[in-house]
Amino acid sequence: MRVIDAFVESLDVIEMGFDKARTAATGRRPYHPGDLLKLYIYAYLNQTSSTRRLEK
């Protein structure tokens, strides 16, 4: 959904309090908070609470 992508990209996730958006130089990177927010909004708009349904 391009609308969700454009909306989340316009937000400053670091300013919103997601301090894990900047990763350290060591270790594996976590998922970007913006990507998880996109998934959450998509699931909410499609009234899906099941991760198995989201996977489909």
pLDDT tens digits along 4-35: 999 988 988 878 887 766 666 776 777 788 88
Query: Contact 13/34 with Cβ under 8 angstroms?
Result: yes
Alpha-helical segments (H) within 1-56: 2-10, 33-45, 51-55
| Segments forming the whole domain that contains residue 13 | 2-21+29-53
pLDDT of the residue at 23: 65
Q: Determine if residue 37 is left, alpha or beta; phi over 0 gives left, psi from -120 to 50 gives alpha, anything else beta.
A: alpha
pLDDT of the residue at 7: 92
pLDDT of the residue at 52: 80
Confidence band of 51 (pLDDT split at 50, 70, 90): confident
Q: Model pTM?
A: 0.68
Question: What is the number of domains present in the chain?
Answer: 1
